[in-house]
Structure 1
């Protein structure tokens, strides 16, 4: 019997890795005739360090996230996906993506980029991807390749993926 997923979650954080995960998630959702749930988490810990907490800042970040997510939804629909929704959550990305959201929405597959952080941030904060793979109660697919299953090397300056050349 062929495994078929009906509810697929993909984490969107603006990184190049999450862009790859999104593209693959659309393809998997199309093949499975599944509902795609795009999730962006606004890390509220980032606002704790602001000395004069400004609600306008939260509104601006939320509005930017909303516009970005609406663009992702449109891209998925343009690709032929009928059931796609976005969610903007507030709190710890690790617990929301790895535990709370999948449980609440009955997610069967989480697709997530290999990492959205640089090496120093991973060392200090820990990888969200690592936490999700260790704690999720559903299947997790860590996306490391493009749609042709080719490794991708990211150009930090250009902020665009460049296909890794075989030596």
Structure 2
């Protein structure tokens, strides 16, 4: 059965549902949770340097402002992880978390490998077409490269309506 469940958490709305599914699985199986947040420039609120501030024209103030935004961004992510870990702990689930920067899909697979995860639970934001090609699909990559089973939580509100034939 599942003893170690790795949960991919980001700032999207689907993450709440992903966490709820993971908590349900962990409660049912007695598994430990590892909440993973990978800070990526693919997220909408990822701090960006202003368009006018190209290297080598960065001035000290621009760099300071960016560093402040970056630190606040990381801090908000840790608060999200801390709150989720606290909820899981209160439910009797042994939980740890980690935050890092980089490629979400590769980082999730690497942590799953080193942590010996039995299951990875990630969300699917419903990107299709050009957006999926440009931004990539974390869930697709993880499904094909993970060292263990993967459960993808879909946002049913983003799915196209199903046609019914009578």
Q: 1:81, CA displacement in angstroms?
A: 2.9
- Corresponding residue for 2:143? 133
User: How many pairs were matched up?
Assistant: 148
Q: Which moved more, 1:131-140 or 1:54-63?
A: 54-63
TM-score w.r.t. the length of structure 1 is: 0.76
Cα separation, 1, equivalents of 2:131 and 2:69: 23
RMSD over aligned Cα atoms: 2.8
Bigger fraction of residues in strand: 1
Is residue 157 of structure 2 the alignment partner of residue 153 of structure 1? yes
- What is the aligned counterpart of 1:36 among 33, 37, 43? 33
Residue aligning to 2:80: 68
Is 1:15 aligned to 2:12, yes or no?
Answer: yes
Q: Deviations over 1:4-40 (max 9, x none)?
A: 1111011111212222111010010111111111111
Residues 17, 116 of structure 1: 8 Å contact kept: no
Structure 1 120/76 Cα, relative in aligned 2: closer, same or farther at 3 Å?
farther
Residue number among 121, 125, 128 corresponding to 1:115 in the alignment: 125
Does the C-alpha gap of structure 1 residues 111 and 59 become closer, same or farther in structure 2, counting only changes over 3 Å?
same
Asked if residue 25 in structure 1 is aligned to residue 12 in structure 2, the reply is no
TM-score using structure 2 length: 0.76
Structure 2 unaligned blocks of 5 or more: none
Distance in 1 (CA, whole Å) between partners of 2:47 and 2:84 is: 29
1: CA distance between counterparts of 2:47 and 2:15? 25
2:102 equivalent in structure 1:
91
Change in Cα spacing, 1:17 to 1:40, as seen in structure 2 (3 Å) is same
The answer to which of 44-53 and 21-30 deviates more is 44-53
